[in-house]
Structure 1
Amino acid sequence: MSPAPAPPRVVRPYLEELVRRTRAVCGPRLVGVLAVGSLALGDYRHGRSDVDVTVVVDRRLPGRTLSDLAGALAHPALPCPAAGLELVVYPADFTVRPSGEAGYLMDLNTGPSLPERVSYDPAESPAFWYVLDRSLAHQSGLVLFGGPVREVIAAPERPDVLAALRTSVREHADGEGHVADNRVLNGCRSVVYCRTGRWRAKRGAAGEVAASEEAFRPLVEDALRSFERPRETALTLPEARVRDFLAWVAERVDEAVEAAGAEGGPTGSR
Protein backbone atom coordinates (compact mmCIF):
# COMPACT_ATOMS: atom_id res chain seq x y z
CA MET A 1 0.00 0.00 0.00
CA SER A 2 1.47 3.36 -1.06
CA PRO A 3 1.78 6.06 1.64
CA ALA A 4 -0.97 8.66 1.93
CA PRO A 5 -0.16 11.99 0.28
CA ALA A 6 0.73 15.03 2.38
CA PRO A 7 -2.04 17.64 2.62
CA PRO A 8 -1.74 20.51 0.11
CA ARG A 9 0.16 23.52 1.44
CA VAL A 10 -2.92 25.72 1.22
CA VAL A 11 -4.70 23.78 3.98
CA ARG A 12 -1.75 22.64 6.14
CA PRO A 13 -1.85 25.59 8.59
CA TYR A 14 -5.60 25.08 8.98
CA LEU A 15 -5.23 21.36 9.70
CA GLU A 16 -2.42 22.02 12.16
CA GLU A 17 -4.57 24.51 14.05
CA LEU A 18 -7.56 22.16 13.92
CA VAL A 19 -5.45 19.41 15.52
CA ARG A 20 -4.05 21.82 18.11
CA ARG A 21 -7.52 22.95 19.15
CA THR A 22 -8.87 19.39 19.17
CA ARG A 23 -6.03 18.25 21.43
CA ALA A 24 -6.56 21.24 23.73
CA VAL A 25 -10.29 20.53 24.09
CA CYS A 26 -10.22 16.72 24.28
CA GLY A 27 -6.98 16.32 26.22
CA PRO A 28 -5.96 12.74 27.02
CA ARG A 29 -9.31 11.43 25.71
CA LEU A 30 -8.24 12.13 22.13
CA VAL A 31 -7.24 8.94 20.29
CA GLY A 32 -6.73 10.10 16.71
CA VAL A 33 -7.37 12.74 14.06
CA LEU A 34 -7.47 11.69 10.40
CA ALA A 35 -7.90 13.50 7.12
CA VAL A 36 -10.24 11.53 4.87
CA GLY A 37 -12.09 12.23 1.61
CA SER A 38 -10.23 14.06 -1.15
CA LEU A 39 -7.31 14.95 1.13
CA ALA A 40 -6.61 11.28 1.85
CA LEU A 41 -6.95 10.31 -1.81
CA GLY A 42 -4.68 13.10 -3.06
CA ASP A 43 -7.45 14.79 -5.07
CA TYR A 44 -8.17 17.94 -3.08
CA ARG A 45 -9.42 20.81 -5.30
CA HIS A 46 -9.10 24.19 -3.59
CA GLY A 47 -12.31 26.18 -3.91
CA ARG A 48 -14.30 23.03 -4.67
CA SER A 49 -13.40 20.29 -2.17
CA ASP A 50 -14.35 20.14 1.48
CA VAL A 51 -11.88 19.33 4.23
CA ASP A 52 -13.06 15.97 5.61
CA VAL A 53 -11.81 15.02 9.06
CA THR A 54 -12.47 12.05 11.34
CA VAL A 55 -11.80 12.40 15.06
CA VAL A 56 -11.70 9.36 17.37
CA VAL A 57 -12.04 9.81 21.12
CA ASP A 58 -12.44 7.84 24.30
CA ARG A 59 -16.18 7.63 24.90
CA ARG A 60 -15.68 8.87 28.49
CA LEU A 61 -15.35 12.51 27.49
CA PRO A 62 -16.47 15.10 30.05
CA GLY A 63 -20.02 16.31 29.47
CA ARG A 64 -19.48 19.58 27.57
CA THR A 65 -16.42 18.53 25.58
CA LEU A 66 -18.22 17.92 22.29
CA SER A 67 -20.08 21.23 22.30
CA ASP A 68 -16.83 22.99 23.28
CA LEU A 69 -15.10 21.28 20.36
CA ALA A 70 -17.82 22.37 17.94
CA GLY A 71 -17.44 25.95 19.15
CA ALA A 72 -13.66 25.85 18.80
CA LEU A 73 -13.73 24.48 15.25
CA ALA A 74 -16.77 26.20 13.74
CA HIS A 75 -16.22 28.76 11.00
CA PRO A 76 -15.41 31.63 11.43
CA ALA A 77 -14.03 31.00 14.96
CA LEU A 78 -11.55 28.85 13.05
CA PRO A 79 -11.69 30.28 9.51
CA CYS A 80 -12.00 27.45 6.99
CA PRO A 81 -9.97 28.07 3.82
CA ALA A 82 -11.82 25.33 1.92
CA ALA A 83 -15.41 25.18 0.72
CA GLY A 84 -16.24 23.68 4.10
CA LEU A 85 -15.26 21.40 6.96
CA GLU A 86 -17.06 18.09 7.43
CA LEU A 87 -15.85 16.69 10.75
CA VAL A 88 -17.15 13.55 12.46
CA VAL A 89 -16.28 12.46 15.99
CA TYR A 90 -16.55 8.75 16.82
CA PRO A 91 -15.94 6.79 20.04
CA ALA A 92 -12.93 4.50 19.83
CA ASP A 93 -14.85 1.46 21.06
CA PHE A 94 -17.16 1.88 18.04
CA THR A 95 -14.61 2.47 15.26
CA VAL A 96 -12.40 -0.45 16.27
CA ARG A 97 -15.12 -2.89 15.12
CA PRO A 98 -16.84 -3.17 11.71
CA SER A 99 -20.28 -1.59 11.68
CA GLY A 100 -23.00 -0.60 9.21
CA GLU A 101 -24.32 2.08 11.57
CA ALA A 102 -23.67 5.83 11.72
CA GLY A 103 -22.32 5.59 15.27
CA TYR A 104 -20.98 9.12 15.67
CA LEU A 105 -20.84 11.27 18.80
CA MET A 106 -20.80 14.53 16.84
CA ASP A 107 -21.18 15.51 13.19
CA LEU A 108 -20.12 19.08 12.38
CA ASN A 109 -20.57 20.83 9.02
CA THR A 110 -19.22 24.36 8.83
CA GLY A 111 -17.47 26.71 6.42
CA PRO A 112 -18.08 29.41 3.83
CA SER A 113 -20.00 27.17 1.38
CA LEU A 114 -21.66 24.69 3.75
CA PRO A 115 -24.88 25.12 5.72
CA GLU A 116 -23.98 25.21 9.41
CA ARG A 117 -24.97 21.97 11.13
CA VAL A 118 -24.03 20.12 14.29
CA SER A 119 -25.61 16.84 15.40
CA TYR A 120 -24.96 14.76 18.50
CA ASP A 121 -27.49 12.03 17.69
CA PRO A 122 -26.61 9.49 14.95
CA ALA A 123 -30.30 8.68 14.54
CA GLU A 124 -30.67 12.12 12.90
CA SER A 125 -28.55 11.14 9.89
CA PRO A 126 -28.61 8.43 7.21
CA ALA A 127 -25.98 5.85 8.11
CA PHE A 128 -24.59 5.39 4.61
CA TRP A 129 -22.46 8.56 4.62
CA TYR A 130 -20.54 7.38 7.69
CA VAL A 131 -20.12 3.78 6.54
CA LEU A 132 -18.57 4.97 3.28
CA ASP A 133 -16.33 7.49 5.07
CA ARG A 134 -15.02 4.85 7.50
CA SER A 135 -14.38 2.43 4.64
CA LEU A 136 -12.32 5.08 2.85
CA ALA A 137 -10.61 6.07 6.10
CA HIS A 138 -9.54 2.49 6.79
CA GLN A 139 -8.07 2.23 3.29
CA SER A 140 -6.45 5.64 2.89
CA GLY A 141 -6.90 7.82 5.98
CA LEU A 142 -4.13 10.38 6.50
CA VAL A 143 -3.03 10.43 10.16
CA LEU A 144 -2.79 13.96 11.56
CA PHE A 145 -2.56 12.80 15.18
CA GLY A 146 -2.46 9.40 16.85
CA GLY A 147 -1.57 5.87 15.87
CA PRO A 148 -1.87 3.94 12.59
CA VAL A 149 -5.29 4.30 11.01
CA ARG A 150 -5.99 0.57 10.75
CA GLU A 151 -5.49 0.18 14.49
CA VAL A 152 -8.12 2.88 15.06
CA ILE A 153 -10.75 2.34 12.36
CA ALA A 154 -11.96 -1.06 11.21
CA ALA A 155 -13.17 -1.57 7.66
CA PRO A 156 -16.96 -2.00 7.46
CA GLU A 157 -17.99 -5.35 6.04
CA ARG A 158 -18.26 -5.33 2.23
CA PRO A 159 -22.03 -6.07 2.24
CA ASP A 160 -22.53 -3.02 4.49
CA VAL A 161 -20.41 -0.88 2.14
CA LEU A 162 -22.36 -2.06 -0.89
CA ALA A 163 -25.67 -1.39 0.88
CA ALA A 164 -24.40 2.10 1.71
CA LEU A 165 -23.39 2.63 -1.93
CA ARG A 166 -26.84 1.58 -3.05
CA THR A 167 -28.41 4.22 -0.79
CA SER A 168 -25.84 6.82 -1.85
CA VAL A 169 -26.66 6.32 -5.53
CA ARG A 170 -30.36 6.77 -4.81
CA GLU A 171 -29.55 9.96 -2.89
CA HIS A 172 -27.55 11.36 -5.80
CA ALA A 173 -30.21 10.30 -8.30
CA ASP A 174 -32.72 12.49 -6.45
CA GLY A 175 -30.31 15.36 -6.98
CA GLU A 176 -31.50 17.63 -4.20
CA GLY A 177 -28.63 19.54 -2.61
CA HIS A 178 -25.94 18.02 -4.86
CA VAL A 179 -23.98 19.65 -7.68
CA ALA A 180 -24.55 17.72 -10.92
CA ASP A 181 -20.86 17.10 -11.63
CA ASN A 182 -20.36 15.69 -8.13
CA ARG A 183 -23.31 13.32 -8.64
CA VAL A 184 -21.65 11.95 -11.78
CA LEU A 185 -18.16 11.70 -10.26
CA ASN A 186 -19.45 9.99 -7.12
CA GLY A 187 -21.23 7.54 -9.42
CA CYS A 188 -17.93 6.82 -11.15
CA ARG A 189 -16.22 6.20 -7.83
CA SER A 190 -19.03 3.82 -6.82
CA VAL A 191 -18.60 1.79 -10.01
CA VAL A 192 -14.83 1.53 -9.57
CA TYR A 193 -15.26 0.41 -5.95
CA CYS A 194 -17.72 -2.29 -7.06
CA ARG A 195 -15.24 -3.50 -9.68
CA THR A 196 -12.10 -3.42 -7.56
CA GLY A 197 -13.01 -3.19 -3.85
CA ARG A 198 -10.78 -0.09 -3.64
CA TRP A 199 -11.59 3.61 -3.31
CA ARG A 200 -10.23 5.85 -6.04
CA ALA A 201 -10.18 9.63 -6.20
CA LYS A 202 -13.15 11.02 -8.08
CA ARG A 203 -11.14 12.22 -11.07
CA GLY A 204 -9.21 8.95 -11.34
CA ALA A 205 -12.40 6.90 -11.14
CA ALA A 206 -14.03 9.14 -13.76
CA GLY A 207 -11.11 8.56 -16.11
CA GLU A 208 -11.56 4.80 -15.78
CA VAL A 209 -15.29 4.98 -16.48
CA ALA A 210 -14.84 7.37 -19.41
CA ALA A 211 -12.28 4.98 -20.93
CA SER A 212 -14.47 1.90 -20.57
CA GLU A 213 -17.99 3.26 -21.16
CA GLU A 214 -18.19 5.03 -24.50
CA ALA A 215 -21.88 5.87 -24.15
CA PHE A 216 -21.26 7.90 -21.00
CA ARG A 217 -17.88 9.37 -21.95
CA PRO A 218 -19.17 12.82 -23.00
CA LEU A 219 -21.14 13.25 -19.77
CA VAL A 220 -18.24 12.13 -17.59
CA GLU A 221 -15.81 14.41 -19.42
CA ASP A 222 -18.21 17.35 -18.99
CA ALA A 223 -18.45 16.53 -15.28
CA LEU A 224 -14.65 16.55 -15.04
CA ARG A 225 -14.46 19.95 -16.74
CA SER A 226 -17.13 21.29 -14.40
CA PHE A 227 -15.30 19.92 -11.35
CA GLU A 228 -12.36 22.19 -12.17
CA ARG A 229 -14.58 25.21 -11.46
CA PRO A 230 -15.78 26.58 -8.10
CA ARG A 231 -19.12 25.20 -6.93
CA GLU A 232 -20.84 28.50 -7.62
CA THR A 233 -19.89 28.39 -11.31
CA ALA A 234 -20.30 24.66 -11.96
CA LEU A 235 -21.53 23.76 -15.43
CA THR A 236 -25.13 22.75 -15.99
CA LEU A 237 -25.25 19.11 -17.06
CA PRO A 238 -28.29 17.60 -18.85
CA GLU A 239 -30.44 16.20 -16.05
CA ALA A 240 -31.86 13.37 -18.14
CA ARG A 241 -28.35 12.14 -18.98
CA VAL A 242 -27.27 12.41 -15.35
CA ARG A 243 -30.25 10.32 -14.26
CA ASP A 244 -29.62 7.75 -17.01
CA PHE A 245 -26.01 7.46 -15.88
CA LEU A 246 -26.94 7.06 -12.21
CA ALA A 247 -29.51 4.40 -13.15
CA TRP A 248 -26.67 2.53 -14.89
CA VAL A 249 -24.51 2.98 -11.77
CA ALA A 250 -27.32 1.60 -9.61
CA GLU A 251 -27.42 -1.52 -11.80
CA ARG A 252 -23.66 -2.02 -11.32
CA VAL A 253 -24.06 -1.71 -7.54
CA ASP A 254 -26.94 -4.18 -7.56
CA GLU A 255 -24.79 -6.64 -9.52
CA ALA A 256 -22.02 -6.28 -6.93
CA VAL A 257 -24.51 -6.87 -4.11
CA GLU A 258 -25.74 -10.03 -5.81
CA ALA A 259 -22.18 -11.25 -6.44
CA ALA A 260 -21.19 -10.62 -2.82
CA GLY A 261 -24.19 -12.62 -1.66
CA ALA A 262 -23.36 -15.50 -4.00
CA GLU A 263 -19.78 -15.56 -2.73
CA GLY A 264 -20.83 -15.46 0.91
CA GLY A 265 -20.17 -11.73 1.39
CA PRO A 266 -16.43 -11.02 1.26
CA THR A 267 -15.47 -8.27 3.66
CA GLY A 268 -13.74 -4.94 3.66
CA SER A 269 -10.92 -3.50 1.58
CA ARG A 270 -7.56 -5.22 1.63
Structure 2
Amino acid sequence: MSSPVPQPPEVRPYLDELVRRARAVCGPHLVSVLAVGSLALGDYRHGRSDIDVTVVVDPSLPRRVLPELARVLAHPALPCPAAGLELVVYPADFTARPSGEAGYLMDLNTGPSLSERVSFDPGAGPSFWYALDRSLAHQEGLPLFGRPVREVIAAPERGTVLAALRASVREHAEGEGHVADNRVLNGCRSVVYCRTGRWLAKRGAGEAVAASEEDFRPLITDALRSFERPRESALVLPRAAVRDFLAWVAGRVDEAVEAETAR
Protein backbone atom coordinates (compact mmCIF):
# COMPACT_ATOMS: atom_id res chain seq x y z
CA MET A 1 0.00 0.00 0.00
CA SER A 2 1.30 3.47 -0.85
CA SER A 3 1.82 6.16 1.76
CA PRO A 4 -1.46 7.70 2.97
CA VAL A 5 -2.43 10.89 1.18
CA PRO A 6 -3.25 13.97 3.26
CA GLN A 7 -6.86 14.90 3.82
CA PRO A 8 -7.98 17.91 1.74
CA PRO A 9 -8.41 20.98 3.97
CA GLU A 10 -12.01 21.43 2.75
CA VAL A 11 -13.08 18.15 4.39
CA ARG A 12 -10.63 17.63 7.27
CA PRO A 13 -12.82 19.24 9.99
CA TYR A 14 -15.83 17.29 8.71
CA LEU A 15 -13.99 13.97 8.86
CA ASP A 16 -12.70 14.76 12.36
CA GLU A 17 -16.26 15.43 13.53
CA LEU A 18 -17.57 12.31 11.77
CA VAL A 19 -15.04 10.20 13.67
CA ARG A 20 -15.87 11.94 16.93
CA ARG A 21 -19.59 11.21 16.51
CA ALA A 22 -18.95 7.61 15.46
CA ARG A 23 -16.84 7.07 18.58
CA ALA A 24 -19.50 8.66 20.77
CA VAL A 25 -22.24 6.39 19.41
CA CYS A 26 -20.29 3.14 18.98
CA GLY A 27 -17.98 3.46 21.98
CA PRO A 28 -15.50 0.58 22.42
CA HIS A 29 -17.22 -1.34 19.61
CA LEU A 30 -15.67 0.96 16.99
CA VAL A 31 -12.75 -0.83 15.30
CA SER A 32 -11.75 1.38 12.37
CA VAL A 33 -12.89 4.35 10.32
CA LEU A 34 -11.41 4.55 6.81
CA ALA A 35 -11.71 7.01 3.96
CA VAL A 36 -11.99 5.23 0.62
CA GLY A 37 -12.84 6.33 -2.92
CA SER A 38 -11.37 9.56 -4.24
CA LEU A 39 -10.04 10.63 -0.83
CA ALA A 40 -7.95 7.48 -0.50
CA LEU A 41 -6.75 7.70 -4.10
CA GLY A 42 -5.67 11.33 -3.74
CA ASP A 43 -8.13 12.61 -6.35
CA TYR A 44 -10.84 14.31 -4.31
CA ARG A 45 -12.48 17.09 -6.35
CA HIS A 46 -14.30 19.58 -4.13
CA GLY A 47 -17.79 20.22 -5.49
CA ARG A 48 -17.73 17.05 -7.57
CA SER A 49 -16.55 14.11 -5.45
CA ASP A 50 -18.43 12.30 -2.75
CA ILE A 51 -16.85 11.49 0.59
CA ASP A 52 -16.67 7.70 0.87
CA VAL A 53 -16.20 6.22 4.34
CA THR A 54 -16.00 2.63 5.57
CA VAL A 55 -16.66 1.96 9.24
CA VAL A 56 -15.74 -1.38 10.83
CA VAL A 57 -17.29 -2.34 14.17
CA ASP A 58 -17.07 -5.25 16.54
CA PRO A 59 -19.88 -7.76 15.84
CA SER A 60 -21.11 -7.24 19.41
CA LEU A 61 -22.23 -3.69 18.58
CA PRO A 62 -25.90 -3.44 19.63
CA ARG A 63 -27.95 -3.07 16.46
CA ARG A 64 -30.20 -0.54 18.16
CA VAL A 65 -27.44 2.09 17.96
CA LEU A 66 -27.28 2.02 14.15
CA PRO A 67 -30.31 4.31 13.58
CA GLU A 68 -28.77 6.75 16.07
CA LEU A 69 -25.48 6.64 14.15
CA ALA A 70 -27.35 7.38 10.93
CA ARG A 71 -29.19 10.26 12.60
CA VAL A 72 -26.08 12.03 13.90
CA LEU A 73 -24.13 11.60 10.65
CA ALA A 74 -26.92 12.54 8.22
CA HIS A 75 -26.86 15.90 6.44
CA PRO A 76 -27.71 18.52 7.70
CA ALA A 77 -27.33 17.25 11.31
CA LEU A 78 -23.68 16.97 10.27
CA PRO A 79 -23.42 19.35 7.31
CA CYS A 80 -21.61 17.60 4.48
CA PRO A 81 -19.16 19.91 2.64
CA ALA A 82 -18.93 17.58 -0.37
CA ALA A 83 -21.49 16.51 -2.96
CA GLY A 84 -22.45 13.74 -0.59
CA LEU A 85 -21.42 11.19 2.01
CA GLU A 86 -21.53 7.48 1.22
CA LEU A 87 -20.84 5.64 4.46
CA VAL A 88 -20.99 1.88 5.01
CA VAL A 89 -20.76 0.10 8.37
CA TYR A 90 -19.51 -3.51 8.42
CA PRO A 91 -18.98 -6.05 11.21
CA ALA A 92 -15.32 -6.94 11.64
CA ASP A 93 -15.91 -10.69 11.32
CA PHE A 94 -17.36 -10.09 7.82
CA THR A 95 -14.64 -7.78 6.50
CA ALA A 96 -11.91 -10.11 7.80
CA ARG A 97 -12.67 -12.64 5.05
CA PRO A 98 -12.84 -12.25 1.25
CA SER A 99 -16.43 -11.94 0.04
CA GLY A 100 -18.50 -10.72 -2.87
CA GLU A 101 -21.56 -10.15 -0.70
CA ALA A 102 -22.81 -6.76 0.47
CA GLY A 103 -22.50 -7.77 4.11
CA TYR A 104 -23.12 -4.37 5.67
CA LEU A 105 -24.89 -3.45 8.89
CA MET A 106 -25.77 0.04 7.66
CA ASP A 107 -25.48 1.88 4.35
CA LEU A 108 -26.00 5.65 4.51
CA ASN A 109 -26.19 8.06 1.57
CA THR A 110 -26.66 11.69 2.51
CA GLY A 111 -25.61 15.17 1.46
CA PRO A 112 -26.49 18.15 -0.71
CA SER A 113 -26.39 16.28 -4.05
CA LEU A 114 -27.41 12.77 -2.95
CA SER A 115 -30.85 11.33 -2.41
CA GLU A 116 -31.21 10.56 1.30
CA ARG A 117 -31.05 6.81 1.90
CA VAL A 118 -30.31 4.55 4.83
CA SER A 119 -30.48 0.76 4.71
CA PHE A 120 -29.94 -1.88 7.37
CA ASP A 121 -30.64 -4.79 5.01
CA PRO A 122 -27.66 -5.95 2.89
CA GLY A 123 -30.01 -8.01 0.76
CA ALA A 124 -32.04 -4.98 -0.31
CA GLY A 125 -30.03 -4.28 -3.46
CA PRO A 126 -27.09 -5.36 -5.62
CA SER A 127 -23.89 -6.34 -3.84
CA PHE A 128 -21.27 -5.53 -6.46
CA TRP A 129 -20.55 -1.94 -5.40
CA TYR A 130 -19.63 -3.10 -1.89
CA ALA A 131 -17.18 -5.73 -3.15
CA LEU A 132 -15.50 -3.11 -5.36
CA ASP A 133 -15.29 -0.62 -2.49
CA ARG A 134 -13.70 -3.19 -0.18
CA SER A 135 -11.19 -4.13 -2.88
CA LEU A 136 -10.19 -0.49 -3.22
CA ALA A 137 -10.20 -0.06 0.57
CA HIS A 138 -7.80 -2.98 1.02
CA GLN A 139 -5.44 -1.43 -1.52
CA GLU A 140 -5.60 2.24 -0.55
CA GLY A 141 -7.87 2.81 2.47
CA LEU A 142 -6.94 6.00 4.32
CA PRO A 143 -7.08 5.43 8.11
CA LEU A 144 -9.01 8.02 10.09
CA PHE A 145 -9.31 6.02 13.33
CA GLY A 146 -8.43 2.63 14.74
CA ARG A 147 -6.74 -0.44 13.36
CA PRO A 148 -4.89 -0.37 10.00
CA VAL A 149 -6.93 -1.22 6.93
CA ARG A 150 -5.21 -4.48 6.06
CA GLU A 151 -5.80 -5.79 9.55
CA VAL A 152 -9.54 -5.36 9.19
CA ILE A 153 -10.45 -5.62 5.48
CA ALA A 154 -9.56 -8.64 3.39
CA ALA A 155 -9.20 -8.19 -0.35
CA PRO A 156 -11.94 -9.89 -2.39
CA GLU A 157 -10.51 -12.45 -4.79
CA ARG A 158 -9.76 -11.25 -8.31
CA GLY A 159 -12.54 -13.37 -9.80
CA THR A 160 -15.01 -11.78 -7.39
CA VAL A 161 -13.84 -8.30 -8.34
CA LEU A 162 -14.08 -9.05 -12.07
CA ALA A 163 -17.64 -10.33 -11.63
CA ALA A 164 -18.47 -7.13 -9.75
CA LEU A 165 -16.91 -5.07 -12.54
CA ARG A 166 -19.11 -6.88 -15.06
CA ALA A 167 -22.18 -5.85 -13.07
CA SER A 168 -21.00 -2.27 -12.64
CA VAL A 169 -20.34 -1.86 -16.37
CA ARG A 170 -23.85 -3.14 -17.10
CA GLU A 171 -25.30 -0.56 -14.72
CA HIS A 172 -23.27 2.26 -16.24
CA ALA A 173 -24.30 1.16 -19.72
CA GLU A 174 -27.92 1.67 -18.72
CA GLY A 175 -27.01 5.17 -17.57
CA GLU A 176 -29.71 5.57 -14.96
CA GLY A 177 -28.63 7.91 -12.15
CA HIS A 178 -25.04 8.41 -13.35
CA VAL A 179 -23.36 11.46 -14.87
CA ALA A 180 -21.96 10.60 -18.33
CA ASP A 181 -18.37 11.58 -17.52
CA ASN A 182 -18.47 9.40 -14.41
CA ARG A 183 -19.68 6.46 -16.49
CA VAL A 184 -16.81 6.87 -18.93
CA LEU A 185 -14.12 7.34 -16.28
CA ASN A 186 -15.39 4.43 -14.19
CA GLY A 187 -15.14 2.38 -17.38
CA CYS A 188 -11.52 3.47 -17.73
CA ARG A 189 -10.84 2.47 -14.14
CA SER A 190 -12.35 -0.96 -14.83
CA VAL A 191 -10.07 -1.43 -17.83
CA VAL A 192 -6.99 -0.44 -15.82
CA TYR A 193 -7.91 -2.88 -13.06
CA CYS A 194 -8.34 -5.69 -15.61
CA ARG A 195 -4.90 -4.91 -17.05
CA THR A 196 -2.98 -4.34 -13.82
CA GLY A 197 -4.97 -5.60 -10.84
CA ARG A 198 -4.65 -2.13 -9.29
CA TRP A 199 -7.10 0.69 -8.68
CA LEU A 200 -6.32 4.12 -10.08
CA ALA A 201 -8.16 7.37 -9.52
CA LYS A 202 -10.67 8.15 -12.25
CA ARG A 203 -8.55 10.87 -13.83
CA GLY A 204 -5.41 8.75 -13.81
CA ALA A 205 -7.29 5.83 -15.31
CA GLY A 206 -8.83 8.08 -17.97
CA GLU A 207 -5.43 9.43 -18.95
CA ALA A 208 -3.98 5.90 -19.14
CA VAL A 209 -6.75 4.54 -21.39
CA ALA A 210 -6.80 7.67 -23.56
CA ALA A 211 -3.07 7.24 -24.15
CA SER A 212 -3.46 3.62 -25.29
CA GLU A 213 -6.79 3.73 -27.15
CA GLU A 214 -6.75 6.31 -29.93
CA ASP A 215 -10.31 5.60 -31.08
CA PHE A 216 -11.74 6.57 -27.69
CA ARG A 217 -9.33 9.40 -26.93
CA PRO A 218 -11.71 12.27 -27.89
CA LEU A 219 -14.52 10.91 -25.72
CA ILE A 220 -12.25 10.30 -22.72
CA THR A 221 -10.66 13.74 -23.11
CA ASP A 222 -14.12 15.33 -23.02
CA ALA A 223 -15.03 13.22 -19.98
CA LEU A 224 -11.89 14.41 -18.19
CA ARG A 225 -12.73 18.05 -19.00
CA SER A 226 -16.26 17.53 -17.74
CA PHE A 227 -15.02 15.89 -14.54
CA GLU A 228 -13.34 19.19 -13.60
CA ARG A 229 -16.78 20.82 -13.37
CA PRO A 230 -19.46 20.52 -10.66
CA ARG A 231 -21.98 17.77 -11.28
CA GLU A 232 -24.71 20.28 -12.05
CA SER A 233 -22.70 21.71 -14.97
CA ALA A 234 -21.20 18.50 -16.36
CA LEU A 235 -20.77 18.41 -20.13
CA VAL A 236 -23.22 16.48 -22.29
CA LEU A 237 -21.34 13.60 -23.92
CA PRO A 238 -22.60 11.87 -27.09
CA ARG A 239 -24.83 8.99 -26.04
CA ALA A 240 -23.78 6.74 -28.90
CA ALA A 241 -20.09 7.29 -28.18
CA VAL A 242 -20.58 6.54 -24.48
CA ARG A 243 -22.57 3.41 -25.34
CA ASP A 244 -19.90 2.18 -27.76
CA PHE A 245 -17.13 2.84 -25.25
CA LEU A 246 -18.89 0.96 -22.47
CA ALA A 247 -19.54 -1.95 -24.82
CA TRP A 248 -15.79 -2.02 -25.48
CA VAL A 249 -15.10 -1.90 -21.73
CA ALA A 250 -17.48 -4.82 -21.19
CA GLY A 251 -15.49 -6.79 -23.75
CA ARG A 252 -12.23 -6.13 -21.89
CA VAL A 253 -13.81 -7.24 -18.61
CA ASP A 254 -15.14 -10.41 -20.26
CA GLU A 255 -11.66 -11.15 -21.59
CA ALA A 256 -10.22 -10.75 -18.09
CA VAL A 257 -12.90 -13.05 -16.67
CA GLU A 258 -12.10 -15.69 -19.28
CA ALA A 259 -8.37 -15.44 -18.58
CA GLU A 260 -8.96 -15.75 -14.85
CA THR A 261 -11.23 -18.77 -15.35
CA ALA A 262 -8.60 -20.47 -17.52
CA ARG A 263 -5.89 -20.17 -14.85
TM-score by length of 2: 0.99
> Over residues 119-156 of structure 1, what are the superposed CA-to-partner deviations in whole Å (9 max), with x where a residue is unaligned?
00001121000000000000000000011110100000
% same residue: 81
1:12 aligns to what? 12
**Structure 2 alignment gaps of length 5 or more:** none
2:95 aligns to what? 95
2:37 aligns to what? 37
Q: Deviation of residue 2 (structure 1)?
A: 2.1
- SS of equivalent to 2:123: helix
- SS of equivalent to 1:65: helix
1:82 aligns to what? 82
- Alpha-carbon distance between aligned partners in 2 of 1:150 and 1:129, rounded to the nearest angstrom: 19
> Over residues 6-33 of structure 1, what are the superposed CA-to-partner deviations in whole Å (9 max), with x where a residue is unaligned?
1101100000000000000000000000
> Over residues 65-111 of structure 1, what are the superposed CA-to-partner deviations in whole Å (9 max), with x where a residue is unaligned?
10000000000000000000000000000000000100000000000
- Alpha-carbon distance between aligned partners in 1 of 2:247 and 2:63, rounded to the nearest angstrom: 45
**Structure 1 alignment gaps of length 5 or more:** 264-270
Alignment of 1:56-71 (within 5 A): 56-71=56-71
Would you say 1:188 and 2:217 are equivalent positions?
no
- Alpha-carbon distance between aligned partners in 1 of 2:258 and 2:164, rounded to the nearest angstrom: 14
- Alpha-carbon distance between aligned partners in 2 of 1:63 and 1:55, rounded to the nearest angstrom: 14
- SS of equivalent to 1:160: helix
- Alpha-carbon distance between aligned partners in 2 of 1:33 and 1:107, rounded to the nearest angstrom: 14
Alignment of 1:1-270 (within 5 A): 1-263=1-263
Moved over 2 A (4+): none
Q: How many residues align?
A: 263
> Do the aligned residues in 1 keep the contact of 2:2 with 2:140 (CA within 8 Å)?
no
- Alpha-carbon distance between aligned partners in 2 of 1:19 and 1:26, rounded to the nearest angstrom: 10
Superposition CA RMSD, Å: 0.5
- Alpha-carbon distance between aligned partners in 2 of 1:91 and 1:238, rounded to the nearest angstrom: 42
> Over residues 173-218 of structure 1, what are the superposed CA-to-partner deviations in whole Å (9 max), with x where a residue is unaligned?
0000000000000000000000000000000000000000000000
- Alpha-carbon distance between aligned partners in 2 of 1:43 and 1:206, rounded to the nearest angstrom: 12
- Alpha-carbon distance between aligned partners in 1 of 2:147 and 2:202, rounded to the nearest angstrom: 27
- Alpha-carbon distance between aligned partners in 1 of 2:67 and 2:215, rounded to the nearest angstrom: 49
- Alpha-carbon distance between aligned partners in 1 of 2:63 and 2:42, rounded to the nearest angstrom: 36
- SS of equivalent to 1:124: coil
